[in-house]
Amino acid sequence: MRFDENNGTADEITRALSHLAERDEVMARLIEQVGPFQIKLETDYFSAVVRSIVAQQISTSAARSIYGRLLKATGEGKLVEGIIKFSIPQLRALGLSLQKAAYLKDLAEKSRAGLIEWSRMAELSNEQIIAELTQVKGIGKWTAQMFLIFSLGRLDVFPGDDLGVRTAIKNLYRKRALPKAKQLKRWEKLWHPYASIASWYCWRSFDLKKKTA
């Protein structure tokens, strides 16, 4: 299952919210506080993963600026070939670290070689997509899961390694410490088969705290 506002899945989202609210009182309150579920999918798959790599361990504004320079340098619609053509020093001159420049080169080269088949991503299972993407240097399970949620709209992705989700669980469920991997199984099971939507509400919970601060 997937969510996509252009694919008539409003009924599925309604069922998902009802399901989560019925099973989880904490999530029910959070859904009421945050409001409607809204994600606009990033349908340019290659660009979405490039942005994820660029954004690793830097601020959102810095990532946006670097990605903008990269797009301008490569030209409209020529991101793959542009990254392949550029040398590591040229990519670094755009603001990328040495590691990230190498990661982008590897991603572009594997894409051109057909080792990553973007056109058939929607046909693959979550596990197959994670395996395909993590063959690229610099892409781990977390980045692959973000792609599953924000590009493919997969409904049941539980990003247990995400610090935001873990912190939200700690705060919302009043835990003394961040939950560990074994403890997270409880929420993965509780939110199934709509873990992506529950995770989105966990991320939005931090916006609520800013409003009340």
**Domain 5-40+156-212, CATH:** 1.10.1670.40
Q: How confident is the model at residue 11 (pLDDT cuts 50, 70, 90)?
A: confident
Residue 212 has pLDDT above 80, yes or no: no
For the chain, domain boundaries: 5-40+156-212, 45-150
Give me the pLDDT at residue 103, please. 97
Instruction: Number of helices (H) and strands (E) in the chain: give both, helices first.
Output: 12, 0
pLDDT 10s digits, 63-82:
999 999 999 999 878 999 99
Q: What top-level class would CATH report for the domain 45-150?
A: mainly alpha
Give me the pLDDT at residue 7, please. 47
Residue 8 has pLDDT above 60, yes or no: no
Residue 6 has pLDDT above 80, yes or no: no
Mean pLDDT of all residues in 170-189: 96
Q: What is the pTM of this model?
A: 0.88
DSSP H helices in 75-194: 79-85, 88-92, 98-112, 126-133, 141-150, 163-172, 181-191
Give me the pLDDT at residue 75, please. 86
pLDDT 10s digits, 114-132:
999 999 999 999 999 999 9
The more confidently predicted of residues 209 and 1 is: 209
Residue 150 has pLDDT above 50, yes or no: yes
Cα separation of 150 and 145, whole Å? Answer: 9
Cα separation of 72 and 41, whole Å? Answer: 23
Q: How confident is the model at residue 4 (pLDDT cuts 50, 70, 90)?
A: low
Q: Average the pLDDT over each of 36-40, 92-96, 98-102 and give the range with the smallest value.
A: 36-40
pLDDT 10s digits, 192-205:
999 999 999 999 99
Give me the pLDDT at residue 149, please. 95
Residue 5 has pLDDT above 50, yes or no: no
